[in-house]
Amino acid sequence: MFDGFTETRVDVGDGIQLRARHGGEGAPVVLLHGHPRTHTTWHWVAPLLVSAGYAVVCPDLRGYGQSSKPATTPDHAPYSKRTMAGDVLRLMQQLGHERFAVVGHDRGSYVAMRLALDAPHAVTKLAVLDSVPIAEALDRADARFATAWWHWFFFAQPDKPERAILADPDAWYGGDPARMGEENYADYRRAIHDPATVHAMLEDYRAGLGPDRAADEADRAAGRRISCPTLVLWTSRDDLADLYGDVLGIWESWTTELSGGPIDSGHHVSEDAPEELARRLDDFLRDALIRDVVDAMYGDNGSADDDLAVIRQAFGSWAHRELDGESWADKIRSGHRVAGREPSQPIGAGDSSSEDTS
């Protein structure tokens, strides 16, 4: 599991350590798991992204898996998505990534969204899987939502959820090693049998109804939007589309550049459909990078939309690979000549010869 990755513990401040695995070279992307999984839920997806040319980081979020579980407070702020997002930002900085893409699933998608809103200088692209913003979900919390997602409100109660879950964690959460992978299942099972982890995971939900909802509502009232390209995917065999209908329509008012659609999978998409998920993420991340590079080539000399297909085909799977120790994109941004063309020249200008990129 995670062949070629390094497992580490990173101090992100205030006595908090995150367990993480990281590997690969290229454009950095951090993958954030949901409840009640750990970072090992990405064990099939992460190597596929590395093979596609990315530097991939997979942490256990605060409170989950083997990451720190600080004492809570009456307002549950230590487990707010803003606090968790700050952990992830500092983790990436400690690993040498000042700017990076972020992908979040389930509860991790709320952390990813909060990170994109709070640190737009750091987040280059955002992908959220199986979610709408917390405030939007609660605004639509009718009887059907309460019936399907009753656990949000049960988990918000004190003490009783811990007692119910810990009485038989396997019966409560389920899980199948054949579908999850043996090592992933073992890591997950260690987590759900640990009382401190169960309590911390529930604090995540308690924060959701308090400081997380308040943060969303404040951003919405102020008209703040996610400034980076955003991909929203939802699983066709879960209930997000049934509950909300037009999922992208809900996200439109939160974003400036939005794409997305359904993916054929059950809820735990990184385990149920890892190849298709990795392909969809690669397509999105590469396309956003190519747009950045085309913009750098053209500068203020006009639109490059007509040439995107040409550039996309030219880049292929090597968009992030290095030439002389610097990525193709960085060479262009820093003003180096690539394939006989200066960045300021339009596509097609300069030497017609090209380097062997096979």
* Known active-site residue 121: no
The three-class DSSP label of residue 58 is strand
Which of 193, 199, 267, 336 is catalytic? The answer is 267
DSSP 315: H
Gap between the Cα atoms of 271 and 266, Å rounded: 9
Encoding tokens for residue 201? 């995971």
Q: Name 91's Cβ contacts closer than 8 Å, sequence gap at least 6.
A: 10, 12, 18, 20, 30, 57, 59
Q: Which single residue is written with the structure tokens 């997950």?
A: 188
Question: Which of 170, 161, 168, 173 is CA-nearest to residue 199?
Answer: 161
From the list 60, 87, 106, 187, the catalytic residue is 106
Q: Residue 13 carries which side chain, given as an amino acid letter?
A: G
| Strands annotated E in the chain | 6-11, 17-23, 27-32, 54-59, 100-105, 123-129, 230-235, 258-263, 322-323, 326-327
Number of CB atoms found within 10 A of residue 72's CB = 17
239 is catalytic: no
Cβ atoms within 10 Å of 291's Cβ, excluding its own: 17
Please give the positions annotated as active site: 106, 267
